[in-house]
Amino acid sequence: MGELLSTVVQVISSYVTRLLDRRAVSQDAKVGADLLDVILTLQELCLNGERLLTLADTLISSGESRADDQSEFTALLHRQSALINQLRRSIDGSRALLATVDVDFAFAMAPFLDGKSGLLTRWQQQAALSQFSTTTLFFLPAEAVTRVVADSPAASTATTLDRNRTDFVLVVANEVRNARRSEVPDIRAVADDKREAVLREVEHARSEIETARVLCGRLLTATQEAIGADATAQLRRTLTGRG
């Protein structure tokens, strides 16, 4: 899901950066805590994504995958799904704040975070159905993500997906169906003539995750500097307690 995660980070980054430029965040520790919560969740999604790709590389290349690699892979998929739910809650909590930067923030995020039809929700469903497939590992290519976002009702009008969901659902379903046509059902058993192509996809996904991770790092540093050390430490303690 490198392309998808990279796109989500870029969208959120554009709004958070503008917020930091316009607001004295250090005067509002709660604001900073909300922002850091979102950014740290994104950062963990990126780090886990990198590890998933490393494990995938091993599973694809190895003739016999180790049981502990498979167990770690499935555990990370479960963690990614939980983090997506956490990200959705964090952004919901920050939506009013980010709307002060741009009222269209909620609409920009709807194609990704909508609980019924959003792209991240569809990835969660895919991962639950087929943990080791390439569709779960890579999900949708960049051009497919672009088409889905462009065809979302939220991309052109200030409405929610609930107002006009049918077309969006059909577009997402079609893109996922297209991805499945060329999928490898199980990366632990890749045919010899497909192995190199799948490994190239892993490298491409890794570059997208790296881009997202670097952007998260920059946002994290900027937000920490804006809110100060005390607010940053307080949030880290809160997150540690939350598990």
pLDDT in tens, the chain (243 residues): 888 999 999 988 888 888 887 777 766 667 777 888 888 899 999 999 999 999 999 999 886 778 999 999 999 999 999 999 999 888 887 777 777 777 778 778 888 888 878 899 999 999 999 999 999 999 998 899 988 888 776 554 444 555 567 778 888 899 999 999 989 999 999 999 999 999 999 999 999 999 999 999 888 888 888 777 777 777 777 766 665
Q: Which domain holds residue 34?
A: 2-242
Is residue 162 classed as helix, strand or coil in its secondary structure? helix
Q: How far apart are CA 16 and CA 90, in angstroms?
A: 13
Q: How far apart are CA 163 and CA 3, in angstroms?
A: 27
Number of domains in the chain: 1
Q: Structure pTM? A: 0.85
Provide the H-helix boundaries in 100-140.
105-113, 119-129, 134-138
Phi, psi of 229 (to 5 degrees): -65, -35
Q: How far apart are CA 56 and CA 70, in angstroms?
A: 9
